Amino acid sequence: MLSDHLKNNIRFLDEVDSWEDSIKLAAEPLLHKGCITPKYIDDMIRNVNVNGPYIVIVPGIAMPHAKNEDGVINTGLSLLKLKNPVLFPEGKEVNILIVLAAEDSTGHLDLISDLSSILIDEDVMDQFKNCGNEEEFIHIIKLVE
């Protein structure tokens, strides 16, 4: 399931100018596919400005999100991997952003469960951090699904 949502939604960049740009760029695949509106991106950025970098869920990984009524059309997931980390508020460095857009309050729980399995596995996380293309990411995800 996780691999299906991420297919064709993974981007690789060397660096970005700001954490705000990282969220925008990470969300672009979902925007282009019509899963979210520009308002959803604005609200993800606003959430960090208001609440701090709570979206940095483990060192090096952020999961930007907002409320589904803030512009989610269809549940989706996208990922941005940066070669050079971007600095979030409070000095938190991030190399991987996983954007979650949930159509309703329960439909994304399976995705969160699958992501949790990956995030707690240090070997998988090391593989993630060394991935160089989408095929490698998808392959790793399918091994743990």
Residue 78 φ/ψ, nearest 5 degrees: -140, 160
With contact defined as beta carbons under 8 Å apart, do 117 and 136 qualify?
A: no
CA atoms of 72 and 55, how far apart (whole Å): 18
What is the DSSP secondary structure assignment for residue 68, as one 8-state letter?
A: G
With contact defined as beta carbons under 8 Å apart, do 71 and 78 qualify?
A: no
Q: State yes or no: is 65 an active-site residue.
A: yes
CA atoms of 62 and 76, how far apart (whole Å): 16
Annotated active-site residue in 5, 65, 108, 139: 65
Beta strand 56-58 with 60-62: parallel, antiparallel or unpaired?
Answer: antiparallel
Look up tokens 């100018």; give the residue: 17
Please list the active-site residues: 65
